[in-house]
Amino acid sequence: MRGKLVTLGEAIGVVAATDPGPLTSGAAMRMDFAGAEATVAIGVSRLGHDSAWVGSVGDDAVGTMVLDRLRAERVDVSRCRIDPELPSGLMLRERRTADRIRVTYYRRGLAGSKLSVAEVDKEQIAAAGVLHLTGITPALSQTARDAVHAALDAAVDAGVLVSLDINYRSALWSRSEAAAELAKLVSRSDIVFAGTDEAALLVPTASPAAMAESLAALGPSQVVLKLGADGALALHRGRQIRQPVLPVTMVDPVGAGDAFVAGYLAGVLDGGPVRHNLRLAATCGAFAVSVPGDWAGLPFRRELDLLTGTDIQR
């Protein structure tokens, strides 16, 4: 498949504790950035395909960091807006214990939520191979929701494949509000990603196979369920394909789902079959959890066989 991946959403700064313990104790912190859609754009770029991220950031150090790092990853940010007044959003990530993370967001009403139709370039989308959307962006604000629908309209009109990761965030909207909006997006998407808890927003709770069938009945030609330790299940043209997780030592689970999506969509852009896409998705997810941070562990194409080789590459 030709064309780049285009995605739009929010990217915010991350101040993360480097060691377990309460933030009130003055824990050491590191600075980074995060955003589901930006992670997917980076992952697809590292796997050799062109990608573009569309968003709004503040005219501040965080906004500069986001755009500089995306450019360094060869992600096109030419349609991004730099807000002259509102600051970029921020996330505090506390590693309260070795295996428990608590997150506090400072994002409401800030630059990222001001993404609007003005940033949507219909020509850019029409030339793309994939438009990737998530359930996070329409929950940010009405202007961001309008931007999502404008991008979706442009993709559908141009015959561009549409990918949607449900990616439900309870801190942003209620289940009922999310279900109503996501139903509209799912019905017009070609590929839908979800966990079983997210799929339950739209279809009755059942076995993963049955839930995939129910989601497919809403419109998408491919449904991919992320099942955590149980791997993943894809449904395409009535055929179910399963993919187990790859055995790795987990360091940080953050970003695994977005890495999985990046791998799958890179596979789609490769023109590969669903089984190839699933394997690539699982590989990217395994790399992601092996390294701290949201996107640092995303693999380059040349590294994909590292997980099946020896412990030392010479």
Which residues have a catalytic role annotated? 258
Task: Let me know the angle formed at the C-alpha of 46 by 159 and 39, rounded to the nearest 5 degrees.
Answer: 75
Edge-to-edge strand list for the sheet holding 130-134: 75-76, 51-54, 5-8, 130-134, 161-165, 191-195, 222-226, 232-236, 239-243
Give the 3-state secondary structure of residue 157. Answer: helix
Question: What CA–CA distance (Å, rounded) separates 253 from 232?
Answer: 16
Instruction: Say how many Å lie between the first and final Cα of the chain, rounded.
Output: 34
Q: For residue 164, what are the β-bridge partners?
A: 133, 192
Other beta carbons less than 10 A from residue 293's beta carbon: 20
Question: What CA–CA distance (Å, rounded) separates 301 from 112?
Answer: 30
The runs of H, that is alpha helices, within the chain are 36-46, 61-72, 122-126, 137-140, 142-158, 175-187, 196-199, 208-216, 256-270, 274-289
